[in-house]
Amino acid sequence: MTSASGAAAPGGPAAHGYLDAASSEPLHPAARRTLLAALDQGYADPRRLHRSARSARLLLDNAREVVADCLDVRPDEVTFTASGTDAVHRGLLGLRAGRARHGDAVVHSAVEHSAVLHAAAWVPGDHVAVEVDRSGRVSPDAVARAAAAPGVAVTAVQAANHEVGTVQPVAEVSAALAAGGVPLFVDACAAGGRLPLPAGWDAAALSAHKWGGPAGVGVLLIRKGARWRNPFPGDDRVDERATGFENVPAALAAAAALQAVVAERDEVGRRQAALVDRIREGAARVPDTEVVGDPVDRLPHLVTFSCLYVDGEALVDGLDRRGFGVASGSACTASTLEPSHVLAAMGALTHGNVRVSLARDTTEAEVDGFLAALPEVVAGIRAEVGL
C-alpha cells in the first residue's frame, strides 16, 4: 500500500531505481578494477626521481595519454585537476587572465552551470548572459554580437546543458567568434564521455564522476597555443595548470572508465535515448506537465519536466519513497532546491521540476516502474493540497 503522495507503506515493496546519473554516474567496473590495482603502485609523488616516483609518473602519463586519445586531443593539452568545478574555474579564468590587456568582461550563455557563473562573478568586470531559446539553445550570432563589445576577454558556452540535455552549437559559436579573436571556454562536464568533444574550444573542462570515474578528478584541456595564464597562486609543479599532488590512482581509474564508456558509447547511447523517449512521452501524458529541452539534439540519458501545482521537494520525496532517486530544483543547487536559472532562462516552469538521468545499467523494468509511479505520485501530492 502507498500513501496519497505515493510513499511506500512500512514493510511494503519499493523499486530501486537510481535515476540521477547526471549528478554522478555509479563507478564503472573498469574504473573500480583499475583503481584497486593502481593504489599499490601510484602512491608516490610523480615529480620525484626515485623508482616508486617513476612508477607513479608512468601511471600518470598513461592516464593522460588515454584521456587524450579518447577526446582526440594532444596529451600535453590534458591536465588532471581536483574536480570538474576546479577545471571550469581554471579554464575560464585562465583564458580571461591571458587576455587581460583586452579587457575583463566574460560573455556566457544564460544556461551555464553555476561553476561558470560563480567564476564569472568572482572577478572584477562585467559578465554578460546571452539569452537562449525555448529549448535552451544559444544563438552563435548572439554570442558573437555580445563578444564584439569592447572589453570582452572570454566567452563561455557549454557542450550540452546539464539540466535539460540540449546540445549547444559550440563549433558554430567558435566560427562566429573567430574574426574577433575572443577565446572560447567550453564546459563539457555534462557531455564528457557521452558525446564527442565538440570542436572550436580554447579551453575545456570535464568531470570524471559524470562518466563513471572516481569523484575528485577533473580534466582541464588547454589548446596548444591558447593564451592561458594561471589565475590562482602558483605551485612548484612541472605543469603550471595543476596545483598540488595529483591523485594518480584516481586519474588512471578515470582514464580507464572514459576509455570504456567511449568504446560502448554508441550502443549505450542508443539504448538510453530510446528509454528517455519513453520517459518524455510518459511524462507528457501527466496532466499539466511540461517536458523541456530539445527532444532530438540532446544528451541521450537525460530529461527534465515540470509539473504544475506540485512542489519539487515533495515530488523528489514521493518518488524516493517509491524507490526512484531523481533530482529537482537547479541541478547545481539541488541541496537548497533553489529555482533553476536554466529553466527560468528558457521561459519554462521553475517549480515542480524533475530531472531524470539514466545510469549505464538502468533497465527497461526500472523505467517502466518509474512511469507507473510518476502519475500516482503527482496525483497524490495534488490531492493532498486539494487539487
What are the pLDDT digits (tens) for 20-36?
999 999 999 999 999 99
The set of cell numbers assigned to 205 is 573542462
- Give me the helices (H) in 157-264, please: 170-177, 248-263
Q: Which of 220, 244, 263 is the last residue of a domain?
A: 263
Please indicate, yes or no, whether residues 135 and 252 belong to a single structural domain of this protein: yes
Residue 136 lies in a domain: yes
Q: Is residue 237 part of a domain?
A: yes
Would you say the C-alpha torsion 12, 15, 19, 23 has a positive or negative sign? positive
DSSP characters over 128-178: EEEPB-TTSPBPHHHHHHHHTSTTEEEEE--SB-TTT-BBP-HHHHHHHHG
Can you tell me the distance from the alpha carbon of 209 to that of 16, in angstroms, rounded to the nearest whole number?
21
Task: Reply yes or no on whether the pLDDT at 246 is more than 50.
Answer: yes
Which pLDDT belongs to residue 238?
65
Residue 38 sits in the same domain as residue 182: yes
Whether the per-residue pLDDT at 252 is higher than 60: the answer is yes
> Which grid coordinates belong to 168?
549547444
- Please check whether residue 10 lies inside any domain of the structure: no
pLDDT at 353 over 50: yes
Pair (176, 207) in one structural domain: yes
Phi, psi of 80 (to 5 degrees): -90, 130
Distance CA 133, CA 140 (A): 12
Grade residue 244 by pLDDT with cuts at 50, 70 and 90: confident
Report the number of distinct structural domains present in the chain: 2
Kindly report the average pLDDT of the chain as a whole number.
92
Q: What is the CATH number of the domain that holds 313?
A: 3.90.1150.10
| Whole-number Å distance between alpha carbons of 177 and 155 | 9
Position 329 scores a pLDDT of: 65
Residue 365 grid coordinates: 523494468
**Residue 188 CA, distance from chain mean position:** 6
**Looking at per-residue confidence, does 334 or 48 come out higher?**
48
- Per-residue pLDDT reduced to its tens digit, 164-195: 999 999 999 999 999 999 999 999 999 999 99
Mean pLDDT of 290-305: 97
Position 344 scores a pLDDT of 94
Q: At residue 274, does pLDDT exceed 90? A: yes
Q: Is 5 part of any domain?
A: no
Q: Between these two residues, 361 and 52, which has the higher pLDDT value?
A: 361
140 and 243 in a common domain:
yes
> By residue range, what is the domain housing residue 133?
29-263
The answer to whether residue 265 scores a pLDDT higher than 90 is yes
Domain membership flag for residue 12: no
Burial class of residue 175, CB neighbours in 10 A (0-12, 13-18, 19+) = middle
Q: Which amino acid is at 70?
A: C
Tell whether the model's pLDDT for residue 12 goes beyond 60. no
Pick the closest to residue 95 from 131, 62, 123 (CA basis).
123
Domain-located, residue 1: no
Q: Where is average pLDDT lowest: 171-185, 245-259, 319-333?
A: 319-333
Report whether 314 contacts 5 (CB < 8 A): yes
Query: Does pLDDT of 2 surpass 70?
Result: no
The answer as to whether 3 is a domain residue is no
Taking the CA atoms of residue 11, residue 15, residue 21 and residue 27 in that order, the dihedral angle to the nearest 10 degrees is: 80
Residues 79 and 102 in one domain: yes
The residues assigned a catalytic role are: 332
The number of helix segments (H) and strand segments (E) in the chain equals: 11, 12
The tens digit of pLDDT for each residue in 73-122 reads 999 999 999 999 999 999 999 999 999 999 999 999 999 999 999 999 99
- Report the candidate in 274, 201, 230 with the shortest Cα–Cα distance to residue 81: 230
- Could you tell me the pLDDT band of residue 43, with boundaries at 50, 70 and 90? confident
Q: Which pLDDT value is given to residue 47? A: 84
Considering only the C-alpha atoms of the chain, give the largest distance between any 2 of them, rounded to a whole number of Å: 71
147 and 37 in a common domain: yes
Among residues 198, 211, 204, which one has the least CA distance to residue 254? 211
Confidence category of residue 235, pLDDT binned at 50, 70, 90: confident
Domain boundary among 205, 237, 263: 263
Q: Please name the residue that has the C-alpha cell 615529480.
A: 47
- Per-residue pLDDT band at 140 (split at 50, 70, 90): very high
How far is C-alpha 54 from the chain's CA centre?
33
Is the pLDDT score of 153 beyond 60? yes
pTM of the model: 0.92
Whether residue 33 sits in one domain with residue 116: yes
252, 271: one domain: no
**Cβ 323 vs Cβ 16: under 8 Å:** yes
One domain, residues 182 and 271: no
CATH code of residue 86: 3.40.640.10
Position 332 pLDDT exceeds 50: no
Is the domain of 282 the same as that of 235? no
Contact 333, 358 (CB under 8 A): no
Average of pLDDT values for 110-138? 97
Q: What is the mean pLDDT of residues 62-70?
A: 98
* Strand intervals (E) in the chain: 17-18, 78-81, 105-109, 127-130, 152-156, 184-187, 203-207, 218-222, 289-292, 302-307, 324-325, 353-357
Q: Is the pLDDT of residue 279 over 70?
A: yes
Q: Is the domain of 298 the same as that of 212?
A: no
From 263, 279, 314, the end of a domain falls on 263
Residue 107's DSSP bridge partners are: 128, 155
Q: Is the pLDDT of residue 350 over 70?
A: yes
Q: How far apart are CA 111 and CA 166, in angstroms?
A: 10
Say whether both 239 and 253 belong to one domain: yes
Out of 266-275, 309-318, 331-340, least confident range = 331-340
d(CA 281, CA 32): 35
